[in-house]
Structure 1
């Protein structure tokens, strides 16, 4: 089992404590037109990140908050761990250095200098839109696993997450949150803009879109796709083992060991179609309309299978 994210959990704990002392209106700041959580990100970190030099062997998980970055991150780390044990190479995902990169945009201004010392196979997660990533990510063609989730379930999960995540503004009602979600007034901005911007890279050879729903439907096939994309050759039996250890329930059962007190927060339910318990008919129509206008004719929009997962 991949090691706990000790340093990242420390960052989360500190951000929760600070956020509890802040007024709601101070919990977010805007950088290049996009809102971010004040206690997790900063202007200084974003400026320092501009000098970050990506490598062609970096493994990047890009996904909007609540699109499955923790789950897919676990799958990838299980694949790497299994591959390294099989090939008896020196492990590359252990040690304090690994914890530097849970999320590219979270941390301190010196982290990018420290990352230069990390050897082959850096695993990087990010919630950023494509245009806000360091340019070297694309010029050096780092491989990017682009995580997608149907917007209705993502919004539902984000709303429930905001209730327990102090660095995020909380809401008295779903209706109040829905208005902010639709206008992009939430941490990391608009999911619709996020998908539209990433769609510009949907055909890049070093970018592979994959959906939360397809991996829930067929975990083994999803694990195989990820292993092939990141060039981690494993046997059928080894891939089955990774799929079993990476099931949402298995991760939730081990979440206290891997993520401490944040286990239940980060691994809440992980289901599909939970949105039906919250969306009103008017809200369904409003989201259907914006998806049709912004994304229905795009490659990523088709990949999401909106008519399958987001229609009553």
Structure 2
């Protein structure tokens, strides 16, 4: 345990996430008409999230509820697997996530600030960050991608063609985009639009110091090249090959 976080079942959590909260989440009552947006941190594009799953507030929502979480599967509500709500999982390549999450650590007042990129990189490599291993989370949902209630999307594809992703999501959820409105929805959901939206970009949050780094920074594909050293990239590529071997899950890194 540090002054910022602690490890529970192999996953590092901010100290604000108490044991009773984790236990309450496991027994949370899931509804069949829920829609769950699940991502590893800094993977979102449609609606970026920052906080852990807020079970007390969520329980009071009227249906259909849209739920957002970055939690690993072992700490998700158990009824996720039995009630089978609609799940939209968004995956992003780990190298760009590493950079984005590094800046999130620098600006977030509730989690550890690393002294250097090199120190942070090692923690990301080891999966020893708040939220746990990128590999564990993405492989878990990739292996469930063929289930009828799961839609697995990639951030890079959404960045390239957001309209196509929105159509896929609307068809999956059975919520058709009104005729002639797709362009408007795409514009509203674009990274640039969200970055300038104070309801989403956390400019008013007391937890984020935007003078250090904005919550929504660049959202680019390939920005990792400006941070990974040659040796770090080689080491991570080797780890990536080992972890992903045989999975069939691939990403674009630029």
Q: What is the TM-score when the length of structure 1 is the normalising length?
A: 0.74
Contact 1:141 1:206 (8 Å CA) reproduced: yes
1:199 CA drift (Å): 3.0
Distance 1:206 1:161 in 2: 31
Aligned to 1:268: 217
Q: Deviations over 1:190-245 (max 9, x none)?
A: 11122233233222111111111101101111111111111111234212211011
User: Equivalent residue of 1:210, what SS?
Assistant: strand
Residues 278 and 116 (structure 1), Cα distance of their counterparts in 2 relative to 1, 3 Å cut: closer
Q: Secondary structure at the match of 1:309?
A: coil
Change (3 A) 1:115 1:151: closer
Asked if the contact 1:46–1:105 (Cα under 8 Å) also holds between the matched residues in 2, the reply is: no
Match of 1:46 in 2: 22
**What is the Cα deviation at residue 257 of structure 1?**
7.5
Show CA shifts across 1:118-156 (max 9, x none). 221101111112232111111001111111000000001
- Asked whether the 8 Å contact 1:61–1:73 carries over to 2, the reply is no
Q: CA deviation at 1:45?
A: 0.3
Q: Which residue of 1 aligns with 2:246?
A: 297
Q: Which runs of 5+ in 1 are unaligned?
A: 1-23, 75-100
Deviation at 1:105, TM superposition (A): 3.1
Q: Does 1:31 align with 2:8?
A: yes
CA RMSD in angstroms, aligned pairs only: 2.2
CA distance in 1, matches of 2:218, 2:242: 30
Partner SS for 1:237 = coil
Contact 2:46 2:190 in 1 (8 A): no
Aligned to 1:128, the other structure's residue is in SS state: coil
**Are the structure 2 counterparts of residues 102 and 180 from structure 1 closer, same or farther at C-alpha, using a change threshold of 3 Å?**
closer
Larger fraction in helix? 1
**Displacement after TM superposition at 1:250 (Å):** 1.0
**1: CA distance, partners of 2:236 / 2:144:** 24
Shift of 1:258: 6.7
Q: TM-score, normalised by structure 2?
A: 0.89
- The answer to which of 194-203 and 30-39 deviates more is 194-203
SS in 1 for 2:152: strand
Q: Is the 8 A contact 2:27 2:78 kept in 1?
A: no
The answer for the alignment partner of 2:135 in structure 1 is 192
Q: Which residue of 2 aligns with 1:279?
A: 228
Structure 2 spans left out of the alignment, 5+ residues: none
Q: Which of 99, 108, 125 is the aligned partner of 1:182?
A: 125
Contact 1:129 1:198 in 2 (8 A): no
Q: Given the alignment of the two structures, is residue 65 of structure 1 paired with residue 41 of structure 2, yes or no?
A: yes
Q: 2:172: which partner in 1?
A: 229
Q: Indicate whether 1:309 and 2:253 are aligned.
A: yes
